Structure 1
């Protein structure tokens, strides 16, 4: 086996690992469609929205009523999240990727967490504000 084949097999293994990890992560976290989430937020006062995007992304647009902790700061200041310990924290980002990671991290820390499928992009496509 030459170095090119080793490189290709290594690359393929990494891609398979990444996809498998995302599938397992997606299955381990509750996911809401934009319509499901909008309905839940109307009815459930124990649900809160967490924007895990960067501050610059947040300045451009956000979902009304959400609070903001960037993904990279999520575990740095746990006191900020303690006030939501008895609530369901529904994370969102631009596409649903980072928020999936955030929801998984929060779940491991003992929080009731979920993810917005498709992020703010799907939220806007659904005509929600």
Structure 2
């Protein structure tokens, strides 16, 4: 599936959709700002913690970082581990906050 723009994500949140949003930034970045309802697993910890996401393998997972590069890495890793519908938030939290 294609990646997701921040406008679409905000619309879906406003409509009350239950979304799986994975924040792969570092802990200090997550403490500074976060998308409401996001789950935090830093990219470097994802291989050890991927089991925490097992329930979402068949559903949509929206992954984000600051600008998109770490999220692309996370998206590729999740796809290699059987996740079927992983979408990167285009422009990351930077675009989301504008």
TM-score above 0.5, yes or no? yes
More helix by share: 1
- Scaled by the length of structure 1, what TM-score is found? 0.68
Bigger CA radius of gyration: 1
Match of 1:4 in 2: none
Offset at 1:43?
5.8
Q: Which runs of 5+ in 1 are unaligned?
A: 1-28
CA distance in 1, matches of 2:42, 2:23: 7
Matches within 5 A, 1:14-93: 30-41=2-13, 42=15, 44-45=17-18, 47-93=19-65
**CA spacing shift, 1:120–1:39, aligned 2, 3 Å:** same
CA distance in 2, matches of 1:84, 1:63: 18
Instruction: Supply the RMSD in Å over aligned alpha carbons.
Output: 1.5
Offset at 1:54?
0.3
The 4+ residue runs of structure 1 with deviation greater than 6 A are: none
CA distance in 2, matches of 1:31, 1:40: 14
State how many pairs are aligned: 96
More displaced 10-residue stretch of structure 1: 61-70 or 105-114 = 105-114
With CA pairs under 8 Å and 6+ residues apart, which has the higher RCO, 1 or 2? 2
